[in-house]
Structure 1
């Protein structure tokens, strides 16, 4: 077994585990987001976390495809171009998510909330 085959044997399962873990986290917080969107107020920190995780999951899926194409020989020049576009887009998303989370953490602004819509109120008399 060559070094590259051994690396693929290690990395491909790790990428799959990373994708599964991030999908689980997103799914586990689904109830929170459903409730918060229904109310119309959501934590900015949680939104940044969700944005980061979605971008990270997409990024891991892209790198899994890059590694699998190399390992199993189904790559092509056109696929390589599209995977690099996907990698670039996902890197922009993960960087934006991390910068947002870092800024919120640095400013200790865990209590910021985004008001999506005004709560239904009875007209004042």
Structure 2
């Protein structure tokens, strides 16, 4: 399977005082604001790191769901958060925190399948950083 997706960013002004917007082809993000303040402080708007985190969490959850299905399981719920750590100009760590409800699976199986999902998730493969996985099966 091959497909392409597109997103746009527009920036106006200097790095610190300027402002920008990001838009996705689906319009889920439509001129969503971002700025120095939303990235490095607590200003209003999004930032690249939280967008990477959202993409990674979503990709991982879907990949895990496919792998669980291949093993004969269907998740009731997979809640994934991705905590992205930015330090000295680089993303140095992403922690995927997984809370899963999967009927009839043993915890060992769940961890094994989740670990494989982390390794083969397309966003994981894209990123050049340390990726940690924490799991909780309930």
The TM-score normalised by the length of structure 1 is 0.31
Q: Which entry has the higher C-alpha Rg, 1 or 2? A: 1
Higher strand share: 2
Higher relative contact order (CA 8 A, sep 6+): 1
The TM-score normalised by the length of structure 2 is 0.28
Higher helix share: 1
